[in-house]
Amino acid sequence: MQEFLVAAKPDLQKARQDWLASLEKERRLSPETVEAYERDSRQFLQFLTGHNGAPPGLSDIASLRSADLRGFLAHRRSEGAGPRTLGRGLAGVRSLVRFLERRGLANAAGAAALRAPRQPKSLPKPLTADDARRVVSCSEQLAEEPWIAARNAAVLTLLYGSGLRISEALAIKAGELPGAGVLRVTGKGGKTRLTPVLPLVQQAVAQYRKLCPYHLDPDGLLFRGARGGPLNPAIVQREMKKMRSALNLPDTATPHALRHSFATHLLGRGGDLRTIQELLGHASLSTTQIYTGVDTARLLEIYDAAHPRA
């Protein structure tokens, strides 16, 4: 790692270097993360130098108050740092202080008491309806084995057709999926919900069952890996990555984006938020309301492209 001039007394400089070494060797953080923590902690020590009127030492960190950290965040915000940068900077300082606390050199209470800046909610990026239909089509799957192609199509169809999380789809037992009607899904926190099983979903699963070379015991998992064991989510994600390249889709086209597409397309066709909340299994309506932002963004995009006065 490149050496920088650090505004700190020798005892704190040594402790900080030990902390950075532990991030790399013991916690095995990526070089990019360690570099970001180095930069954030260096900026914090530079702030303390101006704040206290002298380079800080271990004694200054030992007596660190929440007010000192709030001053640092306010200083960084005045320099143009956004919520994500501020949150990462606070995480770096907390990590350093906790490291020193474990060695009896500081008290981390002040750092722990300060709440991180509220992070902006990032809007999910759904696929277009046409792209979603292509992704779930069995004919578009890239696997050479017909039964694996059918399996991938069935899993992706459940994500888009029923709004399931990938973990929920892969947890379905072979005897649970009905021939018609609805499916009882166990989601986050062990909460159950009912979700529709459309004819398109039924057809995709039936094709997979027909071609699957393994016996699908009603009490066993429905979706199997190439060797007959449980299907790993990473396999589905890898296949989706291949399809992104083959179908010229954006990097945001992930298995989870199909669940976003399910919600966004329902909302665009007049579905109400309460119903979509139930179908997605969201505990709070505020989680579902993010899709109103997606739909509004899409409407504005259409407006800008099509309105003669835009």
Report the catalytic residues. Answer: 165, 188, 256, 259, 282, 291
List residues bridging with 224 in a β-sheet. Answer: 230
Question: What residue type is assigned to position 231 of the chain?
Answer: L
The runs of H, that is alpha helices, within the chain are 10-25, 31-52, 58-62, 66-78, 83-102, 109-113, 129-136, 146-162, 166-170, 199-211, 233-247, 255-268, 273-280, 285-288, 290-306
Q: Which two tokens stand for residue 268?
A: 């665009």
Helix crossing, 31-52 with 66-78: angle to 10°? 100
Residue 130: CB partners within 8 Å, gap ≥ 6? none
The length of the chain, given as a count of residues: 310
Residue 106 · residue 95 · CB < 8 Å: no
Residue 178 · residue 273 · CB < 8 Å: no
